[in-house]
Amino acid sequence: YFQTLAMLLTSKLPVEAALTTMRDQAPRPRVGIAVGEIRDQLRSGASLADAVESVPGLASPQHLALLRAGHESGRLEHAVTLIDASMSQRDRIRRVIVGQLIYPAILLLTAVVALWFLTTFVMPRISEMLTSLDKPLPWQTQVTLTVAGWLVWILPPIILAGVVVAAMHRTLITPAIRAWIDRTLLRLPIVGTLRWHGQAAMICDAVATMVEGGGDVLAGLAQAREVVTSPSVAVRLDDARRRTREGTDLGQALRDCQVLPPMIGAVVQVGMQTGDLTGALKRAAEMCIERQERLTERLLTVMSPALIMLMALTVGWVVYSLVTGMMAVNDVGGL
């Protein structure tokens, strides 16, 4: 929506005419109806921010604040362009995280399915055959058969519990538990760095977008508070906002309260000193994304071979223990 609107406004098309064009060219009827409602509200005297706010899920509070600031300053085209850039940046952050984790997730799922298949369909038949011979089995075979028997009953409840928790996590996971999980994740060597830089990128982008759109730093911090998903970082951000309101330098407050990683905070602080806060915040957000990409690539470089090796060792151990058991039974039978 905002990408198309920004393109039309940049072409010097009036807002109402741009919305009419978007309604006529909408890819889906529901989108066309929503755009038509926004245009009708504009005709009745509402501002673009109020009209957009009437459509649930179309814009975040940060973007609505930008639209209002752009409307009041007469720079609506600039505000819409900033919103489009902000949404593109946020989508890029999500793609970096999700895209890089798809392959390890597929490998892990394949390993779990293969292990469940072995323990459910293959191992019981071999176990029945070996135990029916009433011969002593090597310890390797006994351990494998015992673990396989446990996994047959343990894996399905674990998977079911995981699905239930994923589906009802908002109800089952209380704020206290969520905060504890978040603190634990932030302490982990690689995962914590990834999460911290991800939150820092969203904060820098939110503040930069608000300041460039005509808002002040405190308004930018308030909007950044709305996009932060980490409870721990949110508490730090509240503290930094309080200190900034009391007169502390923004970069210093963000660094002292550990809202931003040290290097990222230094970039913002230099931007405050040189008078280029918006540019510094944009560079800081870009640095956070690049840091995430590098760390994710390193993590995948280690994780993918490790998962493959784990699968190979598991299958190899199962084959070895079963072959050892069959050879032992044959040796005893030959005697």
pLDDT tens for the chain, residues 1 to 335: 667 777 777 777 777 787 778 777 777 777 777 778 878 887 877 777 778 777 777 777 667 777 776 666 566 777 777 777 777 766 776 776 677 677 777 877 887 787 777 777 777 777 777 777 777 778 888 888 888 778 777 777 887 887 777 776 667 677 888 888 888 988 888 888 888 988 888 888 878 877 877 778 888 888 788 778 889 999 999 999 999 988 888 888 888 888 899 888 888 888 888 888 888 888 888 888 888 878 877 777 777 788 788 888 888 888 888 888 778 777 654 44
If you ran DSSP here, which 8-state letter would residue 28 be given? S
Q: Are residues 119 and 81 in the same domain?
A: no
196 token code pair: 């911290």
* Sequence-separated (6 or more) residues with CB below 8 Å from residue 174: none
Asked whether residue 93 is domain-assigned, the answer is no
Q: How many domains does the chain have?
A: 2
Q: What are phi and psi of 317, to 5 degrees?
A: -65, -40
Give the end of a domain, one of 54, 88, 122.
Answer: 88
239 token code pair: 């503290």
Asked whether residue 94 is domain-assigned, the answer is no
If you ran DSSP here, which 8-state letter would residue 122 be given? I
Q: Are residues 62 and 158 in the same domain?
A: no
Q: Are residues 227 and 117 in the same domain?
A: yes
Q: Are residues 161 and 71 in the same domain?
A: no
* Sequence-separated (6 or more) residues with CB below 8 Å from residue 90: 202, 205, 227
Asked whether residue 315 is domain-assigned, the answer is yes
CB 66 within 8 A of CB 40: no
The CATH number that applies at residue 25 is 1.20.81.30
Q: Are residues 311 and 266 in the same domain?
A: yes
Which amino acid, residue 314?
A: T
Identify the CA nearest to 259 among candidates 217, 223, 221, 218. 221
Is the sign of the CA dihedral 284, 207, 182, 240 positive or negative?
positive
Q: Are residues 59 and 109 in the same domain?
A: no
| Domain with 9 in it | 2-88
Residue count of the chain: 335
Distance, CA of 281 to CA of 21 (rounded, Å):
35
Q: Are residues 169 and 234 in the same domain?
A: yes
